[in-house]
Amino acid sequence: MKILLDENLPESLVPELRKLGHEVTSINRLRLKGIKNGMLYREVAKSYDVCFTKDAGFAHNVRQMKTAVNVKVLRVSIPQQDAEKFIPAFIEAFIESDFQKYQSGDDWP
């Protein structure tokens, strides 16, 4: 799976998801920090299968869009906490998730 992480998620997720065999990058690694959400969705994220974000407004706006692209933008609902706790919680939820049941703009997990 090709995964894009929004700038509001920890960079330490990238290597952890790669260990699971996924192609992963982040807005920060692409040097696109601060890119407008609409541009992110229409131009950047379309090259990915899933884009994870903590931005509720971004997820809401994606749900409202009439023209969809293939990427699923999912709002991470795992509570923000230090990386030592957040990363394992994210990875555990990721492994257990059936991504076919999610629609773009949904809260995850």
| pLDDT, tens digit, 9 for 90 and up, residues 42-66 | 777 778 999 999 999 989 888 887 6
Q: CA-to-CA distance for 81 and 74, rounded, in angstroms?
A: 19
> Worst-scoring range by mean pLDDT, 6-10, 25-29, 64-68?
64-68
Domain span holding position 22: 2-108
CATH code, 50:
3.40.50
Residue among 98, 31, 37, 20 at smallest CA distance from 73: 37
Residue among 67, 53, 33 at smallest CA distance from 105: 53
pTM of structure:
0.90
Phi, psi of 59 (to 5 degrees): -60, -40
The total domain count for the chain is: 1
